Chain A
Amino acid sequence: MTFTFFFQNVVNALQWGSFYALIALGYAMVYSILMLFNFAHGDIFMVGSYIGFGVATGLLYLVTSGFIPLPHWLVLVLTIVISMFLTSFVGVIVERIGYRPLRNAPRASAAITGLMIGIILETGNLALLGARRLNFPSLIMSRTYEIGGVFVTNKKILVVLVSIGLMLALDQFVRKTKWGMAMRAMSYDFVVVPLMGVSIDVIAPLTFAIGSGLAAAGGVLYGIAYPILDPYMGILIGWKAFVAAILGGRGSIMGAALAGFLLGFIEIFVAMIFPSTLRDLIAFSIVLAILTFRPYGFFGKPYSAKLRL
């Protein structure tokens, strides 16, 4: 194994880790507040990718037909921002229709709600757009740079930088703003926080919105890097991101992001050593072993009961 080969894989791992981390954040945020995993989240990633497809196609049409002359980089930025914005409403709708009526229902009911919403999103997409795969429009010209023998494409750089930028923004949001403080406080209790004038009916949809927006960013970036979209694209990547969220520690937001990157590294480096058909088998055996020794994940707290009256 040469030095350059190693770093080549680091770049790939960072890219995959970015996808996992962006999606895992949504799982972790929703869990920290509602104590349940939104199993439709992988499909929200898929919806985000499709919305990105629509936005990108629309913007490119406007540009090529000469309606609005936009530079290429702006089309890219707008695609990401508008897709995040629109997909966040999908998250709000999922919360409103799927989770809010079940807020006091048994946890298992709320959990399968997510699975059902996921199936509805997948099959709804099939019904709407048909079974054909879509090609994500190319928003940037692919360029490859060579840095000391390591080949890096501009797409990979874009994926990693946008992801890390969004995570830092989220961290600031959660730590500094009143909404973020309310989210953190609400992750500890449902009793005192409302007395401060904070409503769960505001914070829960906001959490879904932000999580869905991040998943949409992941979806658009994924579409840029791997431009084939199909209605089931969110399932496996969603499950893996879910594993990352658990690995990071249930409800720990930044833990989920770091574990997303860790999972990317584990997968890529397993594939580097073993045949790629064994990748998931070995990678997830490693994850299982980690959880055996750290059952609460890396940043999880060894208690989960939320204060209620």
Chain B
Amino acid sequence: MPLLQVKNMTHFFSGLRAVHNYNLVIEPGEIHGLIGPNGAGKTTIFNLITGVYTPTEGEIYLEGESIVGMQPHEIASRGLGRTFQNMKLWRHMTVLEHVMMAHYSKLTYGLVGAFFGTAKRYREEAEIEKHSMELLDLLGVAQFADQNVLNLPYGVQRKVEMARALAVQPKILFLDEPTVGMTPEELVGMMEVFRTIHREFGPAIFLIEHRMKVVMELCEQIQTLNFGEVIAEGTPEEIQRNPKVIEAYLGKEEVE
């Protein structure tokens, strides 16, 4: 049984067809790439699968269970983690607080514990702090734990976001342009982070990416999207050779 399966998904935004007849199969542990020019509908596909939008047509199965129409948090709690193009970090909260907050659903103490500080609360918080620090350590940002995310370099912020997404122990991780705006050095560091995550936790990864280096080196399967439709699908080598992909990115030769 595939981990994630999308069948014939189509979505309209009030008459505008944003995604057409989209299909996807991701097996456990697989790294899958989604590329395409700006406005092709990549983030829309993410939003449709993660429950931000409900597709006009089509079926989505996570571990065989249909998740169409579920709320984003219900889908997330079934093991789908996500990072965002613009990160959406919580300004003025510390790095450690970000990762601890991601453990929210594991904290079971109630309001009584919150107001009166029961032993259970302190025990749970200590456990989660420990786990959060381990995660930050793994991504190499533990030394920033007590710092406000606002003050940190961009590459570090990206890793904090990654740690936050990993804290919910996802079976599949959706990464929306995780290397956008990075310097070449940061890019290499980030790819190392992807490999570490994949080695340590083994989630499947579904990646939107513009940097071909990242896609070609990491992904086993790649889909190319243009105007909401998959125009090419295959291994990195197949995609690189596909004339439709080159056309979608660079335009036809006559036009140039």
**Chain A residues near B (Cβ < 8 Å):** 169, 173, 177-182, 184-185, 188-189, 191-199, 301, 307, 309
Nearest CB on A from B118, distance (A)? 11
Interface string of B94-120 (1 = CB under 8 A from A): 000100111111010101011100000
Contact B84 A191, beta carbon cutoff 8 Å: yes
- Give the residues from 143 to 186 in chain B that come closer than 8 angstroms, CB to CB, to chain A: 164, 168
Taken together as a complex, chains A and B put the C-alpha atoms of A181 and B129 apart, in Å, by 13
B195 adjacent to chain A (CB < 8 Å)? no
Contact B73 A181, beta carbon cutoff 8 Å: no
Contact A196 B168, beta carbon cutoff 8 Å: yes
Taken together as a complex, chains A and B put the C-alpha atoms of A301 and B52 apart, in Å, by 28
Taken together as a complex, chains A and B put the C-alpha atoms of A191 and B73 apart, in Å, by 10
Contact B109 A178, beta carbon cutoff 8 Å: yes
B72 adjacent to chain A (CB < 8 Å)? yes
Nearest CB on A from B90, distance (A)? 4
Instruction: Choose among B88, B92, B100 the residue that contacts A192 (Cβ–Cβ < 8 A).
Output: B88
- Using A195-B168, A198-B104 as known contacts, say yes or no to A188 and B76 having CB atoms under 8 A apart: no
Q: 14 A-B contacts, Cβ less than 8 Å apart? A: A173-B114, A177-B121, A178-B104, A178-B114, A180-B114, A181-B93, A184-B93, A185-B101, A191-B88, A195-B82, A196-B102, A196-B104, A198-B104, A198-B105
Contact B52 A309, beta carbon cutoff 8 Å: yes
Count of A-B contacts judged by CB separation below 8 Å:
79
Nearest CB on B from A227, distance (A)? 29
Nearest CB on B from A106, distance (A)? 19
B91 adjacent to chain A (CB < 8 Å)? yes
Nearest CB on B from A204, distance (A)? 15
Chain B interface size, as a band, is: 20 to 34
Taken together as a complex, chains A and B put the C-alpha atoms of A169 and B116 apart, in Å, by 10
B71 adjacent to chain A (CB < 8 Å)? yes
**Chain B residues near A (Cβ < 8 Å):** 47, 52, 71-73, 76-77, 81-82, 84, 86, 88-93, 97, 100-105, 107, 109, 111, 113-115, 121, 125, 164, 168
**Chain A residue contacts of B72, Cβ below 8 A:** 191, 194-195
**Chain A residue contacts of B90, Cβ below 8 A:** 184-185, 188-189, 192
**Chain A residue contacts of B168, Cβ below 8 A:** 195-197
Taken together as a complex, chains A and B put the C-alpha atoms of A184 and B104 apart, in Å, by 13
Taken together as a complex, chains A and B put the C-alpha atoms of A192 and B71 apart, in Å, by 12
13 further A-B contacts with Cβ under 8 Å, apart from A182-B101, A196-B104, are A178-B114, A181-B97, A181-B101, A185-B90, A185-B93, A188-B90, A192-B90, A194-B72, A195-B82, A195-B168, A196-B105, A197-B104, A197-B168
**Chain A residue contacts of B93, Cβ below 8 A:** 181, 184-185, 188
Contact A182 B88, beta carbon cutoff 8 Å: no
Taken together as a complex, chains A and B put the C-alpha atoms of A129 and B198 apart, in Å, by 67
Taken together as a complex, chains A and B put the C-alpha atoms of A180 and B125 apart, in Å, by 13
